[in-house]
Structures are given as structure tokens and as C-alpha cells.
Amino acid sequence: MGTDLHELLRSLRVWDVQLPTFDPESAPAEPLPLFTEWFAEAVAAGQSEPHTMSLATADEDGLPDVRIVMLHGADADGWAFASHATSRKGRQLAARPYAALSFYWPTQGRQIRLRGPVEVAPAQEGQADLHARSTGALAAALVGRQSEVLGSAEELGRASDDAWDRAQSDPDAPAPTWTLYRLRPQEVEFFQGDARRRHVRLAYRRAEEGWLKELLWP
């Protein structure tokens, strides 16, 4: 007997945990300190892979695209992630250098959304970021050809084996198309879920000097 998707969906519950409270009046003047605080609390709460995030871009025709990527850092210059410049997202960012990021941490019923222009970091920064990561990350970058059509699983296996051999023998091997990107947010929203659906939404909007803060209806 097949699965009844709608019945399964109706059986699910969200935030079946004790959720933290959030007082927006105590929020800092800028979003980065609050992001850092919430990120640390997500790690402490045991959130699985809190450094993964959704990255939304648009192609040349304005059609949206989204995927999961890893956060490489966040500072005054922006939220950083990496990919091949020749990948689908790399090509989309070259055509339309604007994106959105979304973090979701269900252990605490929290979501953070960011939107803004995306800049390419200097090549040496991208390579330094790559070589500071694991051997597996370097091997994957050396395989390259991300988003291209793959002829067979065997072809990938051969390329991956060669890349692992090179990554292990030459940990400083360059991956020319590997690129570090930084999203400099113009808007950042912090969402704290509430079991009674009285969710708290605090939005930061970049102004000429500093940031503006405002509450949003849930």
C-alpha cells in the first residue's frame, strides 16, 4: 500500500521542544553580533550542521535557484561561502551578483534570512580558505566540473581517486576556479518561533549610517 503523503504531512509537528525566548528590545545595533550569539547557541543546543544554509540566486532570465552550501565565515565584510566560478551558481552570480541566504535551526525554532549584493574575494583569499579546509574539501575542489553533465558514475570515481591522490601528495595544489564569495547584507531578519504562533521577527535594514531595526508581523 502506497504512502499517503498528505496524511503523513498532517501527522507531523514542529518545534516539539522547549523554545527559547527572544526579547528584540535587547538586540544589538548591528546584526552580526546577534548572528554570532544565535549561532553559538545553536551549536550548544546540539543543532546538526548549523553552518549549512540555503543560498538563493537567479539566472540571466531572473528565474530563481536554491541549494544548500556551507558558511565559511561572517564578519564586517559579509557572510562568506565558496564554489567554482564555473558552476551553475557561479555563473548565476556572475550574471546577477545578488543573493539571499537562509539558516534554519529547528532545535530552537530559529531562522535567519539575509539578502544583499555578492562580491568575489581576491583569488589568494579563496585559495587560502580552501587550503585551510580538509583534504576531502580540496579533493572535491580539484575534481572540478561542478554542474556539468556527468557521463557515468565510473567517470566520477576515476576523477575523484585522482583528485584524492593529488590532494594528499600536494596539500597546496591550486584549484583555479574555486572562488570565495561574500554576501554583504542589506537586510537581515531574525525569526524566533513561538508555540502559540506569536513568532518574533526582527528585521535589520542597512541605512546610510548603521542599521535600522523594526519588528514584523509573523
Question: What's the confidence (pLDDT) of residue 1?
Answer: 57
> Do strands 187-192 and 178-183 pair parallel, antiparallel, or not at all (unpaired)?
unpaired
Q: Give burial (CB, 10 Å; 0-12/13-18/19+) of 210.
A: exposed
Question: What's the confidence (pLDDT) of residue 27?
Answer: 98
- Residues 134-160 have pLDDT tens digits of 999 999 999 988 888 999 999 999 999
pTM: 0.92
Question: What's the confidence (pLDDT) of residue 17?
Answer: 81
pLDDT under 50: residue ranges of the chain: none
- Residues 13-28 have pLDDT tens digits of 888 788 999 999 999 9
Q: What is the distance between the terminal CA atoms of the chain, rounded to a whole angstrom?
A: 39
Helices and strands (H and E) in the chain: how many: 6, 10
How does DSSP classify residue 53?
E
